[in-house]
């Protein structure tokens, strides 16, 4: 069986995972939690522990970095092995994600060839769409179905840490180029990801290395939402929420990924987003400094908990499952997340 054959039938299995009969302590609760977990892995071959977790339904997706997939053929073989493990346990197919932004940030040696900054210099939505389509065709042929791109942040200066990962310092231009890339990518049936909501354009440092608080005035932050608004109108399948704190949107300073005011209030209610919300890496200093991080993220409205390592994803899964069994993570919250994940997987099953 090919890695994605029977995808539609397998996707139906997820509906059984969050059937109304589910209750804390039931076997299906473990799979409900598992569908929300995206894990990284070490090396180019999966460990026996990872394969066992996938078969048991404790993992809903994987993220690859360049060290995992040195060539397209290696990536395709690895994906096949992981998808077979998911199928062997009667689980829906895994989401398979990479950061294939273009330029220097590419996990595989293929399109998009141009960085976002290069596309910004060209200023052509048609070229951005063509780059997205080329990337989508390339990734889909390998078995990757989620591209964690494009970056829709609007930097405040050329010195912003994002470098050539952002299109330009003009939010309106970014609001034309980003959705064009999304349209191209998704026309090849690879899901695009608008990141890093609500924007890292004024961040003083990378959230991967520091707990960042953004004190930019609300009016400025609102203006920088334009690319995200446009991507949402264009049907982007995923939105990645950042690990920075935004006091203008949530005075508590909670990292956006843990903030109900930002995820549920701003993204879902005000901007009307109905698709899948994925966290940025939860091992980062901002979110990891809080107790019960996965529970807080899911309760805020996040659907997919992204971890870059096997050990941290296993710990995150265990923490979320314990909260679900204790009742502090409501069953309805998990059911809603699973419904959105199921809808994404069903869309991906259509060619």
The residues assigned a catalytic role are 211, 280
Three-state DSSP class for residue 27: helix
> Whose CA is closest to 112, among 177, 162, 67?
177
Distances (CA, A) of 93 to 7, 86, 310, 319: 6, 6, 18, 23
Beta-bridge partners for 260 = none
88 φψ region: left (φ > 0), alpha (ψ -120 to 50), beta (else): alpha
Give exposure, 264-273, as e/b (b: 16+ Cβ within 10 Å). bbbbbeebeb
Beta-bridge partners for 100 = 106
Output phi, psi for 64, to 5 deg.
-110, 145
Find how far residue 170's CA is from the centre of its chain. Answer: 25
> Whose CA is closest to 197, among 244, 248, 265?
244
Q: How far apart are CA 287 and CA 196, in angstroms?
A: 15
Helix locations, the chain, DSSP H? 7-17, 27-34, 48-55, 72-88, 116-122, 125-142, 171-187, 218-223, 226-233, 260, 285-288, 293-300, 310-326, 331-349
């Amino acid at each position: 069986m090919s890695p994605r054959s029977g995808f539609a039938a397998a996707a139906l299995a997820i509906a059984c995972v969050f059937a109304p009969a589910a209750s804390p302590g039931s076997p299906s609760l473990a799979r409900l939690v598992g569908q929300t977990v995206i894990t990284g892995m070490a090396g180019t071959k999966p460990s026996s522990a990872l394969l066992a977790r996938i078969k048991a339904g404790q993992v809903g997706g994987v993220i690859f970095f360049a060290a995992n997939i040195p060539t397209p053929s290696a990536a395709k073989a690895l994906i096949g092995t992981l998808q077979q493990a998911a199928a062997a346990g009667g689980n829906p197919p895994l989401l398979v994600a990479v950061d294939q932004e273009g330029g220097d940030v590419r996990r595989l040696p293929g399109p998009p060839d141009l960085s976002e900054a290069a596309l910004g210099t060209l200023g052509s939505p048609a070229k951005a769409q063509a780059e997205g389509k080329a990337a989508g065709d390339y990734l889909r042929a390998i078995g990757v179905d989620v591209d964690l791109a494009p970056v829709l942040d609007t930097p405040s200066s050329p010195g912003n840490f994002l470098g050539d990962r952002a299109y330009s310092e003009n939010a309106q231009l970014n609001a034309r180029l980003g959705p064009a890339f999304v349209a191209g990518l998704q026309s090849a049936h690879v899901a695009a990801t608008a990141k890093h909501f609500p924007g890292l354009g004024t961040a003083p440092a990378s959230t991967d290395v520091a707990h960042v608080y953004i004190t930019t005035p609300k009016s400025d932050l609102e203006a920088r939402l334009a690319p995200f608004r446009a991507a949402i109108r264009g049907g982007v399948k995923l939105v990645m929420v950042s690990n920075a704190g935004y006091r203008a949107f949530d005075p508590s300073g909670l990292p956006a990924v843990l903030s109900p005011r930002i995820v549920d209030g701003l993204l879902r209610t005000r901007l009307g987003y109905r698709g899948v919300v994925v966290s940025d890496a939860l091992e980062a200093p901002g979110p990891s400094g809080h107790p019960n991080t996965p529970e807080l993220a899911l309760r805020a409205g996040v659907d997919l908990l992204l971890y870059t390592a096997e050990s941290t994803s296993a710990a995150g899964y265990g923490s979320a499952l314990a909260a679900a069994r204790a009742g502090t993570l409501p069953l309805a919250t998990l059911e809603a997340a699973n419904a959105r994940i199921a809808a994404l997987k069903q869309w991906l099953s259509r060619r």
